[in-house]
Amino acid sequence: MTENPTVEAEQDTAAETQSTEPDPAVEAEDASNHDVGTLEYHFPEDLVLDEFNHRKQVNTEPDATLKASVRDIGVQEPVGARPQPDGKIGIYKGQRRWKAQLAANREFDRKGKPRRKIPVLVRHDLVGVDDDTLVLSLIENTQRVASSKRDQTEALTQLTLMDLAPSQLAKHARRLGYKPAEVKAAQRAAQLDDETLDKFSTNGWDFVELADLSEVTSLGWDAERALSEARRKDRAEKDKGRGHWEQAMARLRLNLADKVKRAELVAELEAAGVPVVRYAAWDKASQVRPLSHLVTPAGKKLTPKAHAELCPDHAAYIDDDKNRAVFACRNWSGNGHTLNAEQAAQLPVAEDKAAAKAERKRVIEGNKAWRAAREARRAFLIRLINPGKGGPKEVSDAAWSWIMLATAGSTYWFPRYYHASRRLDEVAVLLKTEVPKGTGRRDQEPFAHVVTRRGRAGRAFIMLAQVAAAFEREQMHDGVWKSPDDGAAGWLEFLAGEGYTLAECEQAIITTVNAKREEAAAKAKQNTAETEKELDKALGEAAAESGTPAEGDESDEDGGQAEDGGPKAAEEGTDDGAADEGTEETTGEASAATQDAAAVSLAA
């Protein structure tokens, strides 16, 4: 067997079965200190790219993360370079770091800040040694393995678990090229499996988006599809934020909560020995009926306790709309039960099951969509009312209009909320503060601490929180999407003007109300035209009866001119004063007669 010293040297010493003689040349090379270059600092503008830097076409531009890091803390790892024939210094490795500092310096120039230098290891021993330079450049980029998304997620999670001040965490996030919210979201994103994490991070999803996906990932493909579509819409609208994403997350969170609650209800019922069945409210011929629809042969109501004891078909179903357990009988007619009078009266002679099923589905889906949109509106209102340091200092004119509308006493919903509902917990949520302990009507200053903290500039936002809580509670209930009104449409239009992304069900309300407005305007215009036409007709008839020319008719019966100095006046030759007096009397009488006739005609 031929021995290979190089291979044997690389193997684990525990596995060696025979000794080899070391190569003196290799031993001498290992014993010597290889040259890594002289550390120097240069402005990146004074450097050039070595012609033997192997990276020339692909991935030579720094990404946003690297640019952000270099802009904040500069280049930390020296680039490799060697002197060029023209005396300049040429970079053979570290091209992306060099370009990132160039970009940062251009930004510094625009802002009037001093430029930064970068650390450079200058290899004078590589002058004229092009083969070694090319190999070192190749080693730099081919032997480096980029960290995986899982590695990055775990590292950021460790960072968030450290006892760091928010400012310190924000500084680290900035240096890494992330937003603080992304760093905080990494821990939730880490809950995704490796396949899902790699799949969506490769598609450019940030840690906030990945964290949201991890929250609803149990919904499977429905969640991935809904969020991908929402993300596409947000990017198509560019600088409008994550409106569609927030709407999608609100719907998915609601679906997830329904799914979890449903599973809990089913588990509780099965543990109690109650069979869980399906009930289609649209199917009036179904043998499954809730106990509230049934009575005994004697006409008495069926209670869950009594039914469970006496009926072998005692069961329950989960209400798809309100997501609650409802006790039922799964064979009501076979067990001698009877429909109560109200339900019996609703039995159609020839029921259209398909239409009833479609309507039931429409109502359930509509309710869920509206409830999800409500959560998205609340999240937006919280941001609107609490703009933070970088946000607006005052509410908009449109917001002031709503505040004045509510507080001026011209609405019924605001005083009703304040004196009846007065849910201080809802106002506290919008103000991002703790719920006042005293929530009774006698508690006259429940948010005095908020008023003091936010000062003069924040008072309008506190008023807006009161108005928003009142309107959302009193006017934006579940039935609004079925019967849209001007108030709901106006509120949604106001929110959209403030930057809120409308859900489809909310946009439908505005569309419906606008269509009604246009129809009403067209009808009013038509009525006005008809009224004017009737008035003209009445005036014409009255004028004909009195023998007085209708308004606008300047010719007399003989075709003569009525104007002063006309041919008729010249022929008459009457006294001017007498003629004027007679004309006034005649005109007055005719005018009165015309008006009376017109009034009678209109009344008729």
Mean pLDDT of the region 72-80: 90
pLDDT > 80? residue 47: yes
Share of the chain above pLDDT 70, in %: 80
Query: Could you report the per-residue pLDDT of 197-216, keeping only the tens digit for each?
Result: 988 988 889 999 999 999 99
pLDDT > 60? residue 120: yes
Length of the chain in residues, anyone?
604
User: What pLDDT is recorded for position 292?
Assistant: 93
Q: Return the higher-pLDDT residue of 96 and 595.
A: 96
101 exposure class (CB count in 10 Å sphere: 0-12, 13-18, 19+): buried
Farthest-apart Cα atoms in the chain, separation: 154
Cα–Cα distances in angstroms (integers) from residue 260 to residues 216, 255, 322, 385, in the given order: 11, 9, 14, 32
Mean pLDDT of the region 73-98: 92
Query: Could you report the per-residue pLDDT of 153-181, keeping only the tens digit for each?
Result: 888 888 888 888 888 888 888 888 888 89
User: What pLDDT is recorded for position 143?
Assistant: 64
pLDDT > 50? residue 4: no
pLDDT > 80? residue 374: yes
pLDDT > 90? residue 455: no
User: What pLDDT is recorded for position 444?
Assistant: 58
**Contact indicator for 439, 425 with CB cutoff of 8 Å:** yes
Query: Could you report the per-residue pLDDT of 230-269, keeping only the tens digit for each?
Result: 999 998 887 778 899 999 999 999 999 999 999 999 999 9
- Beta-carbon count within 10 A of 141 CB: 15
Average pLDDT, the chain: 81
pLDDT > 50? residue 597: no
d(Cα 283, Cα 356) in Å, to the nearest integer?
A: 7
The pTM of this model reads 0.61
**Contact indicator for 319, 363 with CB cutoff of 8 Å:** no
Q: Residue 17: pLDDT band by 50, 70, 90 thresholds?
A: very low
Q: Name every residue whose Cβ is closer than 8 Å to that of residue 160 and which is 6 or more positions away in sequence.
A: 169, 183, 184, 186, 187
The residues spanned by each domain of the chain are 1-32, 38-142, 149-258, 274-351, 370-502
Q: Return the higher-pLDDT residue of 131 and 512.
A: 512
445 exposure class (CB count in 10 Å sphere: 0-12, 13-18, 19+): exposed
pLDDT > 60? residue 12: no
Per-residue DSSP letter, 64: H
User: What pLDDT is recorded for position 584?
Assistant: 43
Q: Residue 130: pLDDT band by 50, 70, 90 thresholds?
A: confident
Q: Name every residue whose Cβ is closer than 8 Å to that of residue 457 and which is 6 or more positions away in sequence.
A: 393, 394
Mean pLDDT of the region 327-346: 88
H or E element in which residue 241 lies? none
Query: Which stretch of 34-48, 172-186, 556-570 has the lowest confidence by average pLDDT?
Result: 556-570
pLDDT > 50? residue 569: no
Question: What is the topology classification, in CATH, of domain 38-142?
Answer: 3.90.1530
Q: What is the DSSP string of 85-153?
A: TTS-EEEEE-HHHHHHHHHHHHHHHHHTPPP--EEEEE-GGGTT-HHHHHHHHHHHHHS--PPPHHHHH
Cα-to-chain-centroid distance, residue 300: 50
User: What pLDDT is recorded for position 548?
Assistant: 62
d(Cα 375, Cα 280) in Å, to the nearest integer?
A: 28
d(Cα 604, Cα 537) in Å, to the nearest integer?
A: 13
d(Cα 34, Cα 16) in Å, to the nearest integer?
A: 29
- Antiparallel, parallel or unpaired: β 289-290 and 325-329: antiparallel
Query: Which stretch of 183-187, 189-193, 281-285 has the lowest confidence by average pLDDT?
Result: 281-285
User: What pLDDT is recorded for position 23?
Assistant: 55
User: What pLDDT is recorded for position 169?
Assistant: 87
289-290, strands of its sheet edge to edge: 289-290, 325-329, 314-318
Residue type present at position 125: D
Q: Residue 587: pLDDT band by 50, 70, 90 thresholds?
A: very low
H or E element in which residue 81 lies? strand 79-83
- Beta-carbon count within 10 A of 439 CB: 13
pLDDT > 60? residue 578: no
User: What pLDDT is recorded for position 275?
Assistant: 94
Query: Which stretch of 348-357, 500-509, 513-522 has the lowest confidence by average pLDDT?
Result: 348-357
User: What pLDDT is recorded for position 6?
Assistant: 42
Quick one: tokens of 403? 């505040």
Quick one: tokens of 584? 């006034």
H or E element in which residue 278 lies? none
pLDDT > 80? residue 472: yes
d(Cα 24, Cα 124) in Å, to the nearest integer?
A: 27
Query: Could you report the per-residue pLDDT of 378-422, keeping only the tens digit for each?
Result: 999 999 999 888 788 899 999 999 999 988 877 888 888 877 656
Q: Which of 408, 423, 413, 419 is nearest to 476 (CA)?
A: 413
